[in-house]
């Protein structure tokens, strides 16, 4: 992305009456646990895709046609487009976290209809990760209410939030896309609206303007992921374009969301500094003062995975020219125990410092909550 591209005209916002699911989801098959299919939420999802074939399965983890099927590499995007899974979330727990949030909430979905080349979620279910909707939403929201009540008032500020306990509700999916499939996200937003000591949080790469009608009243934080368009065009497959995400930020603030920016992943390649400078300068030019006042950022350097690298070579090798840089990378065990690769310590440190310098120069209002 050149400086000119960084200030390119922002496309007109999609009307809320348009169907944002049309280009992402043409569901033909729904694999469903019987209990999930018989639930109110399961029936709701089924009604949204009335022409889909329903296949009952004993577990959302045990679907041979999807999980561990190497043949699905050739159908990577098609599986995401044409398949949904309905399951019941059996283990409800909130895991401590210290970066984006204080807690990772129990998932209401797993997988995604988008296909970002660096996404870690496919590593959990093998060669395909279409959206799995967990239909026992009342159990999940009830658990969250009880968990929040047990925490009491937050005793002191931290980098997650100065006042509220923050719960990440989208660790294994993109909530903006999930809300195209079911009302789980709407129910979560409504739940946190009634919890004065806590707020929900999720990162997204998809602009779903239907979320503007949910009246979050400041209790849900949306983190729009941004990167130079030159990177996103290659890596963020099937997502909203960067200009569309930026165009939505002010609208989400006006609708009552707290909006932060995820500067991620930061990919180190020739010209990255100039492209990030152009992006930051563009944000400074177009975002409203009210947005800047409440904004904060996370800086996340690119992390990759050998198994995902091998998968990507089968469907999107162009992405690996940016992601797989052995001369710059080293093994790293993640918080969830997986072995990944990240930039070597000195390379990563220099990249983080340089991006923070660019933020200070071009978007000094953008407070960095954490960088890693």
CATH number at residue 318: 3.80.30.30
pLDDT the model gives residue 3 = 37
Roughly how many angstroms between the first and final C-alpha of the chain, as a whole number?
23
Sheet bearing 53-56, strands edge to edge = 53-56, 29-32, 83-87, 131-134, 109-110
C-alpha 191/C-alpha 143 separation (Å) is 11
Per-residue pLDDT band at 71 (split at 50, 70, 90): low
In the block, residue with structure tokens 């009491």: 152
Structural domain including 265 reads 3-371
pLDDT the model gives residue 4 = 36
Name the most confidently modeled range: 15-24, 64-73, 118-127, 159-168: 159-168
pLDDT the model gives residue 122 = 65
Cα distances (Å, whole numbers) of residue 164 to 35, 221, 277, 279, 294: 35, 11, 32, 30, 15
- The domain tally of the chain equals 1
Query: Does pTM surpass 0.85?
Result: yes
Does position 16 have pLDDT exceeding 50, yes or no? Answer: no
Mean confidence (pLDDT) of the chain: 91
Per-residue pLDDT band at 337 (split at 50, 70, 90): low
């Amino acid at each position: 992305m050149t400086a000119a591209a960084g200030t390119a005209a922002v496309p007109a916002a999609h009307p809320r009456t348009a169907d944002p699911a049309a280009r992402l989801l043409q569901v033909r098959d729904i694999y469903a646990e019987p209990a999930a299919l018989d639930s109110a939420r399961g029936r709701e999802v089924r009604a949204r895709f009335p022409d889909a074939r329903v296949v009952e399965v004993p577990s959302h983890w045990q679907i041979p046609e999807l999980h561990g099927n190497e043949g699905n590499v050739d159908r990577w995007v098609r599986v995401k487009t044409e398949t949904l899974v309905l399951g019941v979330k059996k283990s409800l727990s909130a895991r401590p976290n210290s970066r984006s949030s204080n807690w990772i909430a129990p998932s209401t979905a797993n997988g995604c209809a988008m296909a970002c080349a660096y996404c870690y979620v496919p590593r959990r279910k093998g060669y395909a990760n279409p959206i799995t909707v967990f239909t026992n939403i009342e159990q999940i929201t009830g658990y969250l209410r009880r968990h929040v009540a047990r925490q009491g008032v937050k005793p002191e500020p931290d980098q997650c939030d100065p006042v509220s306990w923050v719960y990440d509700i989208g660790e294994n999916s993109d909530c903006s896309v999930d809300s195209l499939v079911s009302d789980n996200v709407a129910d979560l937003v409504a739940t946190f609206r009634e919890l004065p000591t806590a707020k929900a949080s999720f990162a997204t790469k998809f602009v779903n303007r239907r979320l503007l009608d949910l009246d979050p009243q400041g209790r849900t934080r949306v983190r729009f992921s941004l990167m130079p368009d030159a990177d996103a065009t290659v890596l963020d497959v099937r997502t909203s374009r960067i200009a569309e995400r930026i165009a939505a930020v002010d609208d989400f603030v006006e609708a009552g969301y707290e909006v932060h920016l995820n500067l991620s992943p930061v990919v180190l390649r020739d010209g990255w500094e100039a492209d990030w400078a152009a992006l930051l300068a563009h944000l400074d030019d177009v975002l409203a003062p009210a947005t800047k006042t409440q904004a904060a950022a996370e800086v996340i350097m690119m992390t990759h995975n050998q198994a995902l690298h091998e998968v990507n070579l089968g469907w999107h090798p162009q992405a690996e020219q940016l992601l797989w840089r052995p001369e710059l990378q080293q093994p790293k065990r993640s918080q969830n125990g997986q072995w990944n690769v990240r930039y070597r310590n000195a390379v990563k440190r220099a990249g983080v410092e340089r991006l923070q310098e660019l933020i200070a120069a071009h978007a000094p209002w953008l407070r960095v909550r954490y960088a890693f």
